[in-house]
A and B are shown apart, each in its own frame.
Chain A
């Protein structure tokens, strides 16, 4: 395997068994190279979110193989997978999940503190830098629940960046935002990709969004019909 492939999926197949066995993913294979800004597009129910959760290592109930950063995921324990998510994957969800008990800054720092590669002081500096890049450094000391939707999504992106992940995964990151905020979030992604060479995999049903990304994988009925 070449070094610049960050993620490789091979014949990933998944069934939902409840209430009836349904094949939601059928022999899905593709790979993402370093620095690629990829989107997965498709209609509702085509299995794109299900695929993303498998790729993110949170869903382990599938057949097939998955490599992230050259490491096979299928053989890892729950704890090791958590470490992979912590270090190699940054997440941005549709519903900007922040921890309401903490401040914005603390939310951004938490995955870094879990990884513990940097001291708290360095982490704070790094978090502030990311917040500044995303133009929300003034919100750092606010509790997370006081933020607007667009602001929360930007904090979530800062959090995803804190451990310099191999890849950022997004599940409809603009799905719950208005046009203006969607554009802001897209511009951030585009900048991360073009300026910093950040690999990204974004699930979206927004065709306009998908068109603007570097590569679009189109799915239908659990199968890839075009891999860009």
Chain B
């Protein structure tokens, strides 16, 4: 058989029923458009929400928890080593909140090539003084540059400059909600009282907004030095070390290792935020389910139209068979028709899907909860386009297969005699 004869016949049949064909193709276009848009949008949103957590959460946090000693004196006594100990009214023995041996930890982190970076932190409980009223707060002493590199600190500073914390002594970046309560502006001075009762005057150099009002009411940021001064501690006083790894999935393992190595507590991101991955995968599942449903529905559209076409084209099928086309050739013709509907409709769908995503990408979306974005998030991942193409071809092939098989089984004698 001449190559290209079957596509040629398929094209002629398609063009003879141009309107029906177009409707079927538009069905595919619509479903592919929605599939691509839905997945791009959903994943854009997922990425945004995930990043909200991931950007700001250390993979491992080293700290020293307040807890009673695991080795009570009686456990050390050899005399009672075989006995079961009942000990009541245990209190945490030491109130040291700082990490021991910070210098050694930093050295170890520097030489560990699994570690992307770390940021030290000092947390200080304070009161903000607003006239006669006192408001509790926490000042996080940070190293602005490493905090910026690892946790995109600047993104959450809505007014003022983050780097001023480092450059100007005795400065503070206040939580937005706290600032509103104090009626404070950038450049104002505020009074804070430390846990030990000493008062300090700090200059506001910026506001900070995380999107969570509870946090913005309490947390504020100052440089490590300023915070250490408020606490009256030396400059090796560090309460937390926040670590980011190259590979996040290693966090539980590395955390455990550091915990025993440095004799401190370690919390990994998987334990701290177990729920967020579940949320992402469920949202993904839903969008795939909706997208695939759309494709299957359009598959039924193609099935119907091809079925109708076969009833209309019985004469044509009979003639093709009488003049020497086999059942297989006839089947190929109808499958070619189905696949061209899928290909053309699908390709248009990819383009429209991309355009619709672009439009959504430009719709303003301003919310206090998400200070870092101003339009709807879209993930332009080529994988969605590949999946959509594959699915459009598979569904149209299947939708074409059954009518095509029916066409291949048409008995030309019945048609030719039946007139």
Residues in chain A within 8 A of chain B (CB atoms): 49, 53, 56, 58-59, 78-79, 82-87, 91, 93-95, 97-102, 110-111, 113-116, 120, 159, 171
* CB of B107 within 8 Å of the partner chain: no
When the two chains form their complex, are residues B416 and A82 in contact, meaning their CB atoms are under 8 A apart?
no
Q: Which of B321, B327, B416 contacts A93 (CB 8 A)?
A: B416
When the two chains form their complex, are residues A78 and B2 in contact, meaning their CB atoms are under 8 A apart?
no
When the two chains form their complex, are residues A114 and B324 in contact, meaning their CB atoms are under 8 A apart?
yes
What 0/1 readout, one digit per residue, does chain B (394-419) give for beta carbons within 8 Å of chain A? 00000000000000000111001101
Q: Which of B323, B412, B413 contacts A86 (CB 8 A)?
A: B323
When the two chains form their complex, are residues B324 and A97 in contact, meaning their CB atoms are under 8 A apart?
no
* CB of B328 within 8 Å of the partner chain: yes
Q: A residues within 8 A CB of B1? A: 113-116
Q: A residues within 8 A CB of B419? A: 94-95
When the two chains form their complex, are residues B2 and A120 in contact, meaning their CB atoms are under 8 A apart?
yes
Additional pairs, 7, CB under 8 Å, beyond known A79-B326, A91-B322, A97-B416: A58-B413, A79-B327, A86-B325, A94-B419, A97-B318, A114-B2, A120-B2
Complex Cα distance, B12 from A113, in Å, reads 15
* CB of B272 within 8 Å of the partner chain: no
A101-B15, A113-B2, A114-B2 are known contacts. Are A78 and B326 too (CB-CB below 8 A)?
Answer: yes
When the two chains form their complex, are residues B16 and A100 in contact, meaning their CB atoms are under 8 A apart?
yes
* CB of B374 within 8 Å of the partner chain: no
* CB of B315 within 8 Å of the partner chain: yes
Q: A residues within 8 A CB of B9? A: 110
10 nearest A-B pairs in the assembled complex, by CB-CB distance: A86-B324, A82-B326, A101-B12, A79-B326, A111-B323, A113-B2, A101-B16, A116-B2, A85-B324, A97-B319
B contact patch SS:
helix
Q: B residues within 8 A CB of A120? A: 2
* CB of B5 within 8 Å of the partner chain: yes
Q: A residues within 8 A CB of B72? A: none
Q: B residues within 8 A CB of A116? A: 1-2
Complex Cα distance, B269 from A195, in Å, reads 94
Complex Cα distance, B9 from A101, in Å, reads 9
Which residue in chain A gives the minimum CB-CB distance to B316? A99
Q: Which of B16, B315, B329 contacts A97 (CB 8 A)?
A: B315
30 residue pairs bridging A and B, Cβ less than 8 Å apart = A53-B413, A53-B416, A53-B417, A56-B322, A58-B411, A58-B412, A78-B326, A79-B328, A82-B325, A82-B326, A84-B324, A85-B323, A86-B323, A86-B325, A93-B416, A97-B318, A97-B322, A99-B316, A101-B13, A101-B16, A110-B5, A110-B9, A113-B1, A113-B2, A114-B2, A114-B5, A114-B323, A115-B1, A120-B2, A171-B416
Complex Cα distance, B413 from A49, in Å, reads 10
Complex Cα distance, B9 from A59, in Å, reads 25
When the two chains form their complex, are residues A83 and B322 in contact, meaning their CB atoms are under 8 A apart?
no
Q: B residues within 8 A CB of A85? A: 321-324
Complex Cα distance, B9 from A84, in Å, reads 21
Complex Cα distance, B288 from A90, in Å, reads 54
Complex Cα distance, B324 from A91, in Å, reads 10
Q: B residues within 8 A CB of A99? A: 12, 316, 319-320
Complex Cα distance, B11 from A15, in Å, reads 40
A82-B326, A83-B326 are known contacts. Are A113 and B319 too (CB-CB below 8 A)?
Answer: no
Q: B residues within 8 A CB of A101? A: 12-13, 15-16, 316
Complex Cα distance, B2 from A159, in Å, reads 17
CB distance from B367 to the nearest CB of A (A): 57
Q: B residues within 8 A CB of A102? A: 12
Complex Cα distance, B324 from A110, in Å, reads 10
Q: A residues within 8 A CB of B324? A: 82-87, 111, 114-115
Complex Cα distance, B1 from A159, in Å, reads 17
CB distance from A217 to the nearest CB of B (A): 20
When the two chains form their complex, are residues B2 and A82 in contact, meaning their CB atoms are under 8 A apart?
no
Q: A residues within 8 A CB of B316? A: 99-101
Q: A residues within 8 A CB of B15? A: 101
Q: A residues within 8 A CB of B412? A: 58
When the two chains form their complex, are residues B325 and A114 in contact, meaning their CB atoms are under 8 A apart?
yes
Q: A residues within 8 A CB of B416? A: 53, 58, 93, 95, 97, 171
Which residue in chain B gives the minimum CB-CB distance to A59? B413
Q: B residues within 8 A CB of A58? A: 321-322, 411-413, 416
Q: B residues within 8 A CB of A82? A: 321, 324-327, 329
Q: A residues within 8 A CB of B315? A: 97
Complex Cα distance, B292 from A56, in Å, reads 47
